[in-house]
Structure 1
Amino acid sequence: MTGAPTPVSPQQIPAAYQQALRLQNAGQLQQAAQIYAAILRTRPLAEPCFQLGLISARTGRRAEAATWFRRALEIKPRQIEIWTALIDVLDGPERAKAMAEAQRLGLIPSDKSAAAMRKALAELETGDPRKADRLYRKALEAGGDPVPLRETWARALFDRTETDAALKVLAEGLAKAPADPRLLLTRASLLETAGRIDEAEADLLAVLDARPYHPLAWLALMRARKQPPGAPHVATLEQRLPEAAADPEATRYMSFALAKALEDQKRDAEVFAHLDRANTMTRRKFPWNFEADHGFLRDAIAAWTPRTRGQSGAAPIFVTGLPRSGTTLVETILAAHPQVAAGGEAAVMTPLLHPAVEAWFSKGTDYDAQAIGQAYVAGMARKLGAASRDCRTTDKSISTYATMGYALDTLPDARFVVLERDRRDVGLSIYKNLFRDGTHRYSNDLTDIARQIRLFDAAVAAWRKRIPDAIHIVDYEALTADPEPHVRALLDFCGLPWDPACLTPERTERQVHTLSSVQVRQPINRGSVGAWKRFEGALQPLIAALDATRYDFG
């Protein structure tokens, strides 16, 4: 860059930053760098410094990149992405010094802490809980910031339904650092999952008192409950969102949060402006590879042949469907049964099965169906502990729809419950919710959502032809209109006796780790049926793509 760039006005910073990002993504690095430098002439911000560092690193100017990253850290000293980028461009003693500082801040665990924590988590899964706790304490004593260790340990305990122990771990940390936002956010998340909404909200407000533009706190606060007209927190969010315009992450999360609140208040005409902004930003960060997803489904289904070598005896109930189709409700209905233990989004089968399936159809590499079935049963037993003894288990990992035939090979007594729901309602709900970054990459564009829906439809249709006796379809609209006959049919398919408790799943005291954690604590209802009609105009790209798109896996 030559000469001093002309500064932009403060009001122009958000638009200028987005223009620079577009240029940078298009490979026009010099033009992008000039705009970032112009922004910095107006206001010292971490993001332009960080982007200038990335541009310098990309063009081989490592020393210059390090200078920009250090300037960014002067503004945001605890931003792990910046520390990681800085460490990547350093060598020798400077690299070691930067790593030591990041470890001191608790952003990168020390070697001793990390090793002790890995042992503690392994011991918690398979061994003596008291020994696991001693190893966790050893990890704390190894030095560095204990906050990430406390977060990890609390979540591990919570996943094993040891709620009180998990909250005690966080309380110990907050006694030493009462305003630490990460500990408060973690505790709020656990409290909300446990249904203790008032306590969760108090923690979120404490975070926002200290950090008024905290993106995760705003999104969690708006999701925690319905926001009635005139809610003061919504008015505050409306005021703060424009003020956060120079911070892309704050803007992205706060836009999703405000869209949700405005929908609650029935301010429908304002909702999609915020949704479109948030989804466009997310899609830019996490583009979808449609060809890869389509190819996996096509090839996996085409290559499948029935096997009989799986692990007999275990009879898990896989609940699958599109995101936001009612899978959490159906799993909670099943979990109300005294003979069922809910596994939630267990994430046990996919890591075991998907690599084996891909190796099978791409290379012809055979796999051991029984070994995978045994590993799955062992993994669920570790996850659920005593809750899984003498009970059927549910697994709501929705990606199971892609490989139902293979999963049945590994577990011949398994059953698959598939949710069907109005595709327009599903599409709207997907678009308005922010999923964990990097997952559900199709979810940030209405046309892409329609294409994913049709991929799902084609896969389910193909598996229903191949393994019809193992699959049961639950129609969400019919279930919510008249629950009892559909719940009876569901239990009968699963081989479970009738129990009236399944008609009142909201009374079930279980942890719900999904975006539906608030909704499922309400009685079965039709509150979200036909919600797409409120936004029919804005949803035309989705509706048109649903009408025009079909796939067939034979």
Structure 2
Amino acid sequence: MTEAAATGTLEQALAHARRLLERDPGLAAEQLGEILQVAPDHPSALQLLAAARSRQGDPSAALAILVPLARAWPDSAEVQFDLGQALDHCGRGQEAIAALRRAVALDPNFPQAWRVLADGLTAAGEHEAADAAYVSHVRHAAHDPQLMAAAVALAGNRIPEAEALLRAQLRQAPTDVAAIRMFAELAARLDRNEDALHLLERCLELAPGFREARRNYALVLHRSNRSEQALAEIERLLAADPEDAGSRVLKAAVLCRTGDYAQAIGIYDALLAQHPDNPKLWVSQGHALKTAGHTGRAVAAYRRSLELEPSFGEVWWSLANLKTFRFEAGELAAMRGQLARADLAEDDRLHLEFAIGKALEDTGEYEPSFHHYARGNAIRRAQLNYSADDTSARVRYIREHYTREFFAARAGAGSPAPDPIFVVGLPRAGSTLLEQILSSHSQVEGTMELPEITSITRLLRQQGDAGEAMPYHGALAAQGAEALRALGERYLAHTRIQRKTSAPLFIDKMPNNFMHLGLIQLILPNAKIIDARRHPMACGFSAFKQHFARGQGFSYDLTDIGRYYRDYVALMAHFDDVLPGRIHRVMYERMVEDTEGEVRRLLDYCGLPFEPGCLRFFDNPRPVRTASSEQVRQPIYREGMDHWRHYAAWLEPLASALGPVLASYPDVPEGEQRLDTDRL
């Protein structure tokens, strides 16, 4: 046999031994023993044999092989790495650290050697050095093929593949902070925010200096509506690097969530002075300016963003969404030009469809306007998994289970605080107007659409039996009086950051909370609940032509809207029946026709004396975050009430889905007032 052939045979045998090592280390050891009889002192065979002994649970045998091998090959980072692991398994921690330090000195691009060194330093109590080693592990993780394969899968949104790779990596290396951070990112993409937070907390426990993990942690806290905690993490990042643009952008976003718009705008101003050609920064500044009532500056910011990126559909829609803004002819032509592009991204296309629909509506071109709205809605509807049947089933479940007896059995539970005023209903039904009126009273503070009730439902869903049809409701029903009180106190604590004044009452106008009135009643029985209702055709079409940032999946199809409105009416009728007098209803049309009378009735329900400032709500300078922000800064006008009739020719699916609810408005059809027990 030639020397080349012998070498080839030896390499094949070693490759076979490596494969055996993964599934049968004992058999691998036998194979390697045979190889070493033919090629004594072969370094690769000795290294593999040491690995086989370790996997057989015999680190002393592995060490007996590796100590002389390391003396023979002192410049091999891999041998030093294996020696360090074997020493550690034999309880010789300081010697292990020394070997691992030699490994990373020989090859600084050895991510797993940095990780194992960090583990050893942690065990030795050298936390600062361990933190630095973990950070080096992250810095060199690009050299780990397993991690890179997971990163590529994650970037391509191949979630199952990425999850399998990361699970395998973490089984092998539970302290791989780079893998833990990637797994947290995967969990966040799947809306498993609690899992993401726990993973990132573990990551930062191991590596406090892992800046990207801390920024991810702050971001997930922000998305989980834990603004105070998010700001604390961001301040830690900025203390180390005050010029960190990513952390400053995130801080501005969190401040907008907490209603601190002046600070947020100041951050955006400073960032734009440094990065004037960043279109996304301009649009973020525009959003903050718009909410704070600086409409002129907002328009200028949006237009600057479009100068930099003319196809930026979100910005065109942001201009349209000002409601009082009117596009110039040249701007309409520019939008049409962008929409005609074959290479336009889908997200830009759907925003442009809505924006052009609004531009044509303003010029009275209702038919082409409707068709643009319809195309924008069709794009968005195809992106969502909304099911009208699921909504109907959820409403039916609530009506079956939240009975008078259910509430009577839990009377006296919950927090007694009267602070919140919940304004519920469908979007575009006038809830922002009611908030603006109420917040013009000296004893009431307007906040915004607060997500805390939704956060509590997620918490309950996690506590519930996953096998149940409605785990959140099952978990809520199982709560005792003290637990319900604690949930009410949690709501008050988590929303306190939104309260900027000493007013005793505050408004939470998340419209979708009508689905959670049972929860509100149990945890905050003294809170006020106001139902904002508007003519179903006016409300429905207004929702159809509005592209919501998130959370209104029903609003992109006329039939879905009609069914949703009908379910809403049925559910509110149910709560009127089981909690008589608990909810105060305001019909938008009556508010327009008799503003003072409706305002007085509203204040009476809230236990508040009449104040003339409530009739001049349009003078209130408070930030307004919703699509109605510009409209509520003007006096009430009735022209908008019947505007939907311009589109009546194309709204038959909405009217048909509404059925008797449309014919009976403002009354409730007899069939919707009580649950039809014959169909149970």
Q: Same fold (TM over 0.5)?
A: yes
SS at match of 2:441: coil
Instruction: Work out whether 1:403 is the aligned partner of 2:516.
Output: yes
Of residues 619, 644, 650, the one that matches 1:532 is 644
Q: Distance in 2 between matches of 1:219 and 1:90?
A: 39
Q: 1:132 to 1:523 in 2, by over 3 A?
A: farther
Residue 270 of structure 1: CA displacement?
Answer: 1.1
- Residue 340 (structure 1) shift: 0.3
| Unaligned 5+ runs, structure 2 | 1-144, 170-177, 190-199, 201-208, 462-469, 662-670, 676-680
Choose 1 or 2 for highest CA Rg. 2
Residues 360 and 321 of structure 1: CA distance in aligned 2, closer, same or farther (over 3 Å) = closer
- Within the candidate set 374, 379, 393, 2:489 is matched to 374
Partner of 2:36: none
Check whether the contact 2:214–2:233 (CA below 8 A) recurs between aligned residues: no
Find out whether 1:283 has 2:390 as its counterpart: no
CA distance in 1, matches of 2:337, 2:640: 29
Q: Tell me how far 1:139 sits from its aligned partner.
A: 6.4
Tell me if the contact between 2:618 and 2:635 (Cα under 8 Å) persists in the aligned partners.
Answer: yes
Counterpart Cα distance in 1 of 2:621 and 2:365: 34
Distance 2:395 2:521 in 1: 16
What does 1:51-450 correspond to in 2, within 5 Å? 84=157, 88=162, 111-115=210-214, 118=217, 134-138=235-239, 140=241, 146-228=244-326, 230-243=328-341, 246-304=344-402, 305-306=406-407, 307=410, 308-353=412-457, 356=460, 358-359=470-471, 361-362=473-474, 365-367=478-480, 368-384=483-499, 386-387=500-501, 389-437=502-550, 439-450=551-562
1:366-401 residue CA offsets vs partner (Å, 9 max, x unmatched):
3521111111111121222x42x3421111011221
- 1:490-542: CA deviation from partner (whole Å, max 9, x where unpaired): 00000011001111111111111111112111112223101111011011111
Q: Which amino acid aligns with 2:615?
A: L
Label 1:248 to 1:124 Cα distance change in 2 as closer, same or farther (>3 A).
closer
Indicate if the aligned counterparts of 2:327 and 2:359 stay in contact, CA closer than 8 A. no
Alpha-carbon distance in structure 2 between the residues aligned to 1:128 and 1:303:
37
Q: CA deviation at 1:547?
A: 1.9
1:456 aligns with 2:568: yes
**Mapped contact 2:259–2:447 kept (Cα < 8 A):** no
Q: 2:629 aligns with which of 517, 526, 529?
A: 517
> Could you tell me which residue of structure 1 aligns to residue 582 of structure 2?
470
Match of 1:42 in 2: none
Q: 1:227 to 1:334 in 2, by over 3 A?
A: closer
For residues 232-268 of structure 1, the C-alpha deviation after alignment (integer angstroms, 9 at most, x for no partner) is 3223212322125643222111001110111111111
Instruction: Tell me the SS of whatever aligns to 1:309.
Output: coil
Report the 3-state secondary structure (helix = DSSP H, G, I; strand = E; otherwise coil) of the residue aligned with 1:342.
strand
Report the residue type matching 2:545 in the other structure. Answer: K
Which residue of the partner structure matches residue 105 of structure 2?
Answer: none
Summarize the Cα distance change of 1:229–1:392 in structure 2 as closer, same or farther, 3 Å threshold. Answer: closer
Q: What pairs up with 1:484-499 in 2 under 5 angstroms?
A: 484-499=596-611
Code of the residue aligned with 2:656 in structure 1: it is A
> Deviations along 1:180-212, whole A, 9 cap, x unmatched?
122111100000011111111111111111111
2:638 partner SS: coil
CA distance in 2, matches of 1:116, 1:128: 9
Query: How many angstroms apart in 1 are the aligned matches of 2:240 and 2:305?
Result: 27
The alignment yields a C-alpha RMSD, in angstroms, of 3.6
Q: Tell me: CA distance 1:232–1:116, structure 2 relative to 1, closer, same or farther (3 Å).
A: closer
CA distance in 2, matches of 1:520, 1:529: 15
Contact kept, 8 Å, 1:425 with 1:531, in 2: the verdict is yes
Cα deviation for residue 317 of structure 1 reads 0.9
Any conservation in 2 of the 1:310–1:412 contact (CA below 8 Å)? yes
Contact 1:147 1:182 in 2 (8 A): no
Identity of aligned residues (%): 27
After superposition, the C-alpha distances for 1:137-157 in whole angstroms (9 at most, x for unaligned) are 14656x9xx544323211222
Native 8 Å contact 1:215 1:251 kept in 2: yes
Task: Kindly provide the amino acid, as one letter, of the partner of residue 135 in structure 1.
Answer: R
2:227–2:257 Cα contact (<8 Å) kept: no
Partner of 1:394: helix, strand, or coil?
strand
2:622 & 2:325 partners in 1: Cα distance?
24
Instruction: Note if contact 2:218-2:230 (Cα within 8 Å) is conserved in structure 1.
Output: no
Q: Distance in 1 between matches of 2:261 and 2:353?
A: 32
Please identify, of 291-300 and 202-211, the stretch whose mean Cα deviation from structure 2 is larger.
291-300
Name the aligned partner's letter for residue 513 of structure 1. R
Q: Distance in 2 between matches of 1:421 and 1:454?
A: 13
* Residue 462 to residue 134, structure 1, CA distance change in 2 (3 Å): closer
CA–CA distance in 2 between the matches of 1:119 and 1:440?
Answer: 26
Cα distance between partner residues in 2 of 1:434 and 1:360: 29
Does structure 2 conserve the Cα–Cα contact (< 8 Å) formed by 1:431 and 1:444?
Answer: yes
From the superposition, tell whether residues 334 and 128 of structure 1 become closer, same or farther in structure 2 (CA, over 3 Å): same
Q: Distance in 1 between matches of 2:519 and 2:165?
A: 47
Cα displacement (A) at 1:225: 4.6
Residue identity matched to 2:436: T
Cα distance in 2 for residues equivalent to 1:492 and 1:286: 42
Distance 1:451 1:81, change over 3 A: farther
